[in-house]
Amino acid sequence: MKREINQDLTEKTDQQLVEEVRAGHRASFSQLVKRHQRGMLRLSMRFVKDLDVAQDVVQDAFIKSYEKLNMFEGRASFKSWLYQITVNTARNKLRENRYDFSDIDDVQLSVAPTAERKLVHAAVSDMIQLEVDRLPFKQKTALVLRVYEDLSFSEIAEIMECPYDTAKANYRHALLKLKEIFETQHELKRWTEDVGGFFMELNNKYVEVE
C-alpha cells in the first residue's frame, strides 16, 4: 500500500501536491522537495558558489515556501515560484555574509574531462563563468535562468517579478557585456576558436527569443 501511495505522489502535478499540503498532508510537500531540490541547489550554486551555503539557501527557501504556501496563487508555475524564493534567498545570503567561495565544479555530477580539448573547453567555461559572476545581480539572474536553466523569458519574468521586456533586456545587456569582454580578451577568443566557438555557440543559441 505504501508503495502505491508513493507512486501516486510521483504522478501528481505540483498544483495537486500543493493542494494536498494545504489540506494537511505533509508527505505531499516531501514529494515537492524531492522533485525540485536538485534544480534549486544547482541554481543556488550559480550565485553563492559554496556547497554548504547553497544547501542552506535551499533549506531556507523550502522553509519559506512551506510557511507561505497559502500565498501561492497558481498564476505562475510552482517551480517558478520556488525559483523566485531561491533567488531572493541567495541574494540575501550574499548581502549578509562574505564567503570564501569554492568552485562550482565541485558539485558537478559529470566525470571530470581528461582529453586536452575538453580541458580547454572547461577552462573557457571557467573564464566566462568568472565574468558572469561580475555582472549586476539582475543581469546575472536573467542570464543564469536563460542559459543554465533553459527557462523562457515568461518564466524568468515571473521569477524576477518584473515585466517580460525587462527580463529580456536584462538578459540582452548581460550577453552584450560578455560579448564585449570576449572580443577584448584575445586569449579567450583564441581558446574558444580551438573548441569550436564555445561563446559564439552560446550567443547563437540564446540570443533569439520566443
Fold that domain 2-96 belongs to in CATH: Rna Polymerase Sigma Factor; Chain: A (1.10.1740)
Hey, what amino acid is at 47?
Answer: F
DSSP track, 19-37? HHHHTT-HHHHHHHHHHHH
DSSP track, 107-125? G--SPPP-SHHHHHHHHHH
b/e map 18-32, b = 16+ CB within 10 Å = bebbeeeeeebbebb
Residue-wise pLDDT tens digits, 166-187 = 999 999 998 888 878 777 765 5
Residue-wise pLDDT tens digits, 50-83 = 899 999 999 999 999 999 999 898 888 999 999 9
Q: Which three cell numbers stand for residue 168?
A: 529580456
Task: Tell me where in the chain the CATH 1.10.1740.10 domain(s) lie.
Answer: 2-96
Task: Tell me where in the chain the CATH 1.10.10.10 domain(s) lie.
Answer: 110-206
Q: Can you tell me the distance from the alpha carbon of 141 to that of 150, in angstroms, rounded to the nearest whole number? A: 12
CATH of range 110-206; options 1.10.10.10, 3.40.50.300, 3.30.70.580, 1.10.533.10? 1.10.10.10
Residue-wise pLDDT tens digits, 4-33 = 444 466 788 999 999 999 998 988 999 999
